[in-house]
A and B are shown apart, each in its own frame.
Chain A
């Protein structure tokens, strides 16, 4: 027999919770962010560590996917070379809306220490970025923090807004 007691006076007499559709949808979206594995350099090691058991991204409902079709968020972890730039754009275009991008580490943010001819000076030259995550390389806690900030951002948004093309740069 159930031992818990429903406080009917406090819950207006009904076991019902009221919310908005926005909150419900964005709650669902923000708690099942599936990132596209986009390890480009040493930041990928930290990203993998975040996904593994010690830091355990699964707690956030974040499960890495290997296909852009199944992914909501792209974690650009590492140095983007100019040769590869067109492929990151193609994979970004293949992701279904709504989609977000976390630029992880100095190289993805600004090109970092690779001030050379072969490195894209920031992935925001190619794809729109939502969260810039500093560090070289950022620790797994930092990536988790970035993901939690992204979740907060998603929860603030309206679920039914028209998807504006995101600003590049």
Chain B
């Protein structure tokens, strides 16, 4: 049976009381609870400095030094049989902590275990490539460079992967506006026609629900219609007469003079 809740004043209450709900953090457990992970951690700790480690949702999470990343990856691959790097990227914590958090998601086919290697770098700090250890990191690091502007040292071909090469700024930074900066908003006009053409095409209409009451080229206000492109008028047009308003019960003849929307497209 469900727990009793007092519903006396339920109607008066706001339906969503917690408007800015934040999900509870995923519970973490100690690494010692899993013997495979515990052995892996022991092996890593003998060689590298592990700042923090825990198990979260069945996966071990390790925080290492940024300088150790390549050696840690080689160790994971050759000593600990983590032979697959499924994913790597960064998270922008610049505002919160002044740094990027990089994560490398590893999978061991033989152990059937996944672990995540994490570390933080400052905004202007570069990171060493691991693409010669795991080839899957090649494009992942390029994407990270594309989206966050993080330089990857010794990468064989560090070029933008998704955005055009002449794109300004890095779109996955939290400071980057969702609709793009100025260069981004005019990108297609600038590249195809040149900057002089901006005035011809005009800015992007981002608000698709926008209805401008003063715009008489695209909209006609009911009973306030004016000819195409003319200034809006507050005076109601009286060409439509309704019976309820004491108008004519039947329209016998159409008066073309009263038609106001001559140039309507």
- Is there an interface contact between B201 and A82, defined as CB atoms closer than 8 Å? no
Choose one: A83, A118, A121, A168; the contact of B204 (CB below 8 Å). A121
- Is there an interface contact between B176 and A117, defined as CB atoms closer than 8 Å? yes
- Is there an interface contact between A117 and B188, defined as CB atoms closer than 8 Å? no
Name B197's closest neighbour in chain A (CB-CB).
A168
Q: Which residues from B are CB-within-8-Å of A120?
A: 188
**Whole-angstrom distance between the Cβ of A106 and the nearest chain B Cβ:** 9
- Is there an interface contact between A86 and B178, defined as CB atoms closer than 8 Å? no
Choose one: B177, B184, B202, B206; the contact of A82 (CB below 8 Å). B184
- Is there an interface contact between B191 and A85, defined as CB atoms closer than 8 Å? yes
- Is there an interface contact between B201 and A118, defined as CB atoms closer than 8 Å? no
Query: Is A145 an interface residue when CB atoms closer than 8 A count as contact?
Result: no
- Is there an interface contact between B171 and A82, defined as CB atoms closer than 8 Å? no
Q: Which residues from A are CB-within-8-Å of B171?
A: 117-118
Query: Is A125 an interface residue when CB atoms closer than 8 A count as contact?
Result: yes
- Is there an interface contact between A110 and B188, defined as CB atoms closer than 8 Å? no
Q: How far is the CA of A110 from the CA of B163 in the complex (A)?
A: 21
Known: A83-B164, A86-B188. A117 touches B201 (CB 8 A): no
**Whole-angstrom distance between the Cβ of A30 and the nearest chain B Cβ:** 23
- Is there an interface contact between B192 and A85, defined as CB atoms closer than 8 Å? yes
Q: How far is the CA of A121 from the CA of B180 in the complex (A)?
A: 12
Name A109's closest neighbour in chain B (CB-CB).
B208
Name A121's closest neighbour in chain B (CB-CB).
B204
- Is there an interface contact between A116 and B179, defined as CB atoms closer than 8 Å? yes
**Whole-angstrom distance between the Cβ of B146 and the nearest chain A Cβ:** 11
**Whole-angstrom distance between the Cβ of B190 and the nearest chain A Cβ:** 10
- Is there an interface contact between A89 and B192, defined as CB atoms closer than 8 Å? yes
Binding site secondary structure of chain A: loop
Q: Which residues from A are CB-within-8-Å of B163?
A: 83, 118
Query: Is B200 an interface residue when CB atoms closer than 8 A count as contact?
Result: yes
- Is there an interface contact between B201 and A169, defined as CB atoms closer than 8 Å? yes
Query: Is A45 an interface residue when CB atoms closer than 8 A count as contact?
Result: no
Query: Is A63 an interface residue when CB atoms closer than 8 A count as contact?
Result: no
Known: A82-B164, A83-B163, A168-B201. A115 touches B206 (CB 8 A): yes
Name B178's closest neighbour in chain A (CB-CB).
A116
- Is there an interface contact between A125 and B189, defined as CB atoms closer than 8 Å? yes
Name B203's closest neighbour in chain A (CB-CB).
A121
Q: Which residues from A are CB-within-8-Å of B208?
A: 110-111, 115
- Is there an interface contact between B188 and A82, defined as CB atoms closer than 8 Å? yes
Contacts of A75-127 to chain B: CB distance below 8 A: 82-83, 85-86, 89, 110-111, 115-118, 120-122, 125-126
Known: A115-B179, A126-B192. A82 touches B187 (CB 8 A): yes
Q: Which residues from A are CB-within-8-Å of B14?
A: none
Q: How far is the CA of A126 from the CA of B189 in the complex (A)?
A: 7
Q: How far is the CA of A25 from the CA of B231 in the complex (A)?
A: 43
Contacts of B173-213 to chain A: CB distance below 8 A: 176-181, 184-185, 187-189, 191-192, 200-202, 204-206, 208
Choose one: B184, B191, B202, B206; the contact of A86 (CB below 8 Å). B191
Interface mask (B149-187 → A, CB under 8 Å = 1, otherwise 0): 000000000000001100000010000111111001101
- Is there an interface contact between B192 and A117, defined as CB atoms closer than 8 Å? no
- Is there an interface contact between A115 and B188, defined as CB atoms closer than 8 Å? no
Binding site for A on B (CB under 8 A): 163-164, 171, 176-181, 184-185, 187-189, 191-192, 200-202, 204-206, 208
Known contacts A122-B205, A125-B201, A168-B201; 11 additional CB pairs below 8 A are A82-B187, A85-B191, A89-B192, A111-B208, A117-B177, A117-B179, A118-B163, A121-B204, A125-B189, A125-B204, A168-B200
Binding site for B on A (CB under 8 A): 82-83, 85-86, 89, 110-111, 115-118, 120-122, 125-126, 168-169
What would be 9 A-B contacts, judged by CB atoms less than 8 Å apart? A82-B184, A85-B191, A85-B192, A110-B208, A115-B178, A115-B206, A117-B177, A118-B180, A120-B188
